[in-house]
Amino acid sequence: MSETRIGRCLCGEVRIETDALSDELTACHCLLCTRWGGGVQFGIEAEAARVHVTGPVKTHRSSKLAERAWCDTCGSHLWFRYVEGPDEGYFELCPGIFDNAGDATLTLVNYADQAPDGWSLGGTPRRITKDEYERTHAFLSEGETP
């Protein structure tokens, strides 16, 4: 069992506790993630059954595959969660809710070729293009609804 991590939103009303937080951080430049967060979306995977959430959370089913959540008081983004498909049962928790981003390291950039001009994430994470990702993963185009 890994170390228990406790994250919280900006106002502190939402708390997220898990002992299943990955040490790997992913980034995504797809249109849905970009529109939701205003830029690159980061996430740290955790098994949903091992995540405990308290506080005023709102969710939006952003696609047939997933929902996104935020604090209903301060608006802090909390997670992207798979509700259907091969990754069902996993959260992609927003790293900013944890101190030092949960000590995770950036290891993967999805839709790397869709990053805005002039943006570059440093280090040596694996980078997957839109075509590469969509060949092997379920996805939705902008405008498709659940």
Tell me the per-residue pLDDT of 80-94, one tens digit each, with 9 for 90 and over. 998 988 888 899 999
Q: What is the mean pLDDT of residues 16-30?
A: 95
Distance (Å, rounded) from C-alpha 70 to C-alpha 38? 14
Determine, yes or no, domain membership for 70: yes
In a domain, 131, yes or no: yes
| C-alpha span between 82 and 80 (Å, rounded) | 7
Output the pTM of the full model: 0.86
How do residues 31-86 score in pLDDT, each as one tens digit?
888 999 889 999 999 999 999 999 999 999 988 888 999 999 999 999 999 898 88
Residue 74, domain CATH: 2.170.150.70
Give me the domain span that covers residue 55: 5-115+126-136
Residue 146 in any domain: the answer is: no
Distance CA 134, CA 89 (A): 20
Of 71, 29, 22, the C-alpha closest to 46 is 22
Name the token pair of 140.
């939705």
Asked if residue 145 is part of any domain, the answer here is no
Contacts of 128 (CB under 8 A, 6+ apart): 108, 109, 110, 111, 112
In a domain, 68, yes or no: yes
Q: How many domains in the chain?
A: 1
Residue 72 lies inside a defined structural domain of this protein: yes
> SS3 of 126, please?
strand
Token digits for 116?
A: 């805005």
